[in-house]
Amino acid sequence: MPDLAEAARKAVSLVVEGKADFLMKGKLDTSVLLKAVVNKECGLGQGRTMSHFTMFQVPGYHKLLVPVDGGMVTYPTLEQKRDIICNTVDTLRSMGYDMPKVGVVTCVEKVNPKMPETVEADLLKQMNENGEISGCIVEGPISYDCAVSREIADFKGFQSPCAGDCDVLVAPNIHAGNIMGKMLAVTCGAKMAGFIVGAKCPIVMTSRGSSPEEKYLSIVISAVAAQK
């Protein structure tokens, strides 16, 4: 019987040795692969939270949309949300994006002390303004409709360079991110590709229900990201 843990360690070592550009999960369990990836002595960690990057081609939206994180970090802290944004922006910039527009999504557009998600969204915007999060424009709190529709944002009087033009949508937790992604794919017919970022290389981690096309597209964009 094959030693799956050893196979994962070998795959990680190939990346470390410069003999492979990215990883893709096969039949072994996700936990087995990630255990090798996060190994402090010989893994692929970079001291930053790893997160799930997903890119969707959504019918009716004028460009590719990146909702994060719906597959890795369950209840991200403020610092983890910062890392998720940095991971995502770094990945997009490696693909040729100049200044991605990031919307930290909540159900309202105003800070409400009784809604901690809105407070953190505002703090992330401040981090962007003071240079702690760079290479992008961060807006938050921003509702989903204002993030993807300039017409709705104008009607609500919400002024922002990200209004109706977001590249990235940062969800408050894994449930919101996962639901958003599945709604786009299953109900809206969006094409999707995704992989884990924040490690020394992209890690393709498609779900059991992923179509052959989704797996193929995930490999393609991982290869593009790995060229950085």
The CA dihedral of 39, 197, 98, 94, to the nearest 10 degrees, is 70
Angle CA 188–87–92, to nearest 5: 60
Measure the CA–CA gap between 195 and 27, rounded to whole angstroms: 16
Residue 205 confidence (pLDDT): 82
Residue 33 confidence (pLDDT): 87
| Bridge partner list, 170 | 68, 104
pTM of the full structure: 0.90
Q: Using CB atoms within 10 A of its CB, is residue 68 exposed (0-12), middle (13-18) or buried (19+)?
A: buried
Q: What are the pLDDT digits (tens) for 29-77? A: 888 888 898 888 888 888 889 999 999 999 999 999 999 999 889 999 9
Provide Rg for the chain, Cα atoms: 18
Owner of token pair 């179509």: 211
Residue 228 confidence (pLDDT): 65
Q: Name residues of the chain where pLDDT drops below 70.
A: 1, 208-209, 228
Residues 6+ apart with CB under 8 A from 8: 28, 32, 33, 35, 36, 37
